[in-house]
Amino acid sequence: MLLKKLAITTRTAVLLLANLSLLHSAALAQTIPSLRDTFKKDFGIGTALNNAQINETNPQTTAFIARQFNMATPENIMKSALIHPGWDTYDFEMADKLIAFGKKHDIKINGHTLIWHSQLPAFIRGIHSKDSIQTFFTNHIKTVASRYDGKVFSWDVVNEALNEDGTMRKSVFLQYLGDDFVTEAFRLAQQAAPKTELYYNDYNNEQPKKRAGCIDLIRKIKAAGVRIDGVGIQGHWHVGRIPLKDIEESILQYAALGVKVMFTELDIEVLPRNFQGADVGQRMTANAQSNPYPTALPDSVQTQLAADYEALFKLFLKHKDKITRVTFWGVNDGDSWLNNWPIRGRTSYPLLFDRKDQPKPAFYKVIATVK
């Protein structure tokens, strides 16, 4: 009997300590400034959400997200491979949960993405006719966009349709539907989602050649009398090499076309990489130098990361009349896709919060840009 009482007492003590720890963490989180509140007069502050976060598996994480962000983009669940896994089969379960999450926590949802050459349903590989690709293309946009019209505030209608030199990427859509597939995607989205903002999204489209191709796309869509509301610059950059002049010139040139500008997938890589951008098809081979900071980021790199984020947000605030949203690609460092790309298993540190949701020096530099 005594042993049983001791076991109950020990278990109670453990639960009490766990609850006290949660309360302590929650209290600390409330003392951290809020990004969404800090920039509420300037532009939206977003993050990418994974399935666990959408499912609210950790109440502390949920509260943290709701305090820091007022916009969110799903990492994967709205990509066609997941939301449209069979020719006549759609799976809306997680996307519907995301919409409910946004409504519950006063977070606007950006749909990502209707048309992308990557992460396509497996059945697409067996299709070899224009009519079939056209049917998939049309049905997918109409079905998904119409379901969430007015429930998502925006759609990345087409994602990454350009090569680095500004020419059209040789995707399955270009191959079978021709150069006008981007315009047609926006036309279909406009019909299916009249209450939703429509964006074109890409990486490196702040670079001059790719920017020129992006401008041509926007002009072509507009010339066809089709609605395009904005352009997303993903913002996958590398520490110490942020192309500030190109970014500013891009903001000005895109805004001059009458479209909104947003930074949609912001992170700053701190690990070695021999190329820039975010082409998921590119990979690197692991070696002794490829994961240089397995346990912690050196102070010198932490300082440079903070300086880079500070410079970026000063630029964003300079042009806040043209920028509507800045979305980080992940809540904290542990969520970042850069831990596994272009080399699996690396330890990356590209965001404002560490793996325990604690603010890094970069966070405070960003907060301090608002006077």
Q: Is residue 331 part of a domain?
A: yes
Q: What is the CATH number of the domain that holds 209?
A: 3.20.20.80
pLDDT along the chain (371 residues), means of 10: 58 54 53 96 98 98 98 98 97 98 98 98 95 98 98 98 98 97 98 98 98 98 98 98 98 98 98 82 84 94 98 98 98 96 94 98 98 84
Helix count (H) and strand count (E) of the chain?
A: 13, 9
Our measurement of the distance from residue 79's CA atom to the centroid of its chain's CA atoms, rounded to an integer in Å, reads 12
Judge whether 8 lies within some domain.
no
- Give me the number of domains the chain comprises: 1
Q: Which domain holds residue 238?
A: 41-367
Which residue is catalytic, options 75, 184, 197, 265?
265
Q: Is position 93 annotated as part of the catalytic site? A: no
12 located within any domain: no
Domain presence at residue 191: yes
In a domain, 28, yes or no: no
Q: Would you say residue 82 lies in a domain?
A: yes
- Structure letter (DSSP) for residue 223: H
336 neighbors 265 (Cβ within 8 angstroms): no
Catalytic residue chosen out of the listed positions 75, 160, 184, 310:
160
pLDDT of residue 288: 73
pTM of the model: 0.91
160 is catalytic: yes
Please tell me the predicted confidence (pLDDT) of residue 27: 56
Q: Is residue 85 part of a domain?
A: yes
17 located within any domain: no
* Per-residue pLDDT, 10: 60
CA distances from 25 to 31, 55, 63, 354, 357 (A): 10, 21, 11, 14, 10
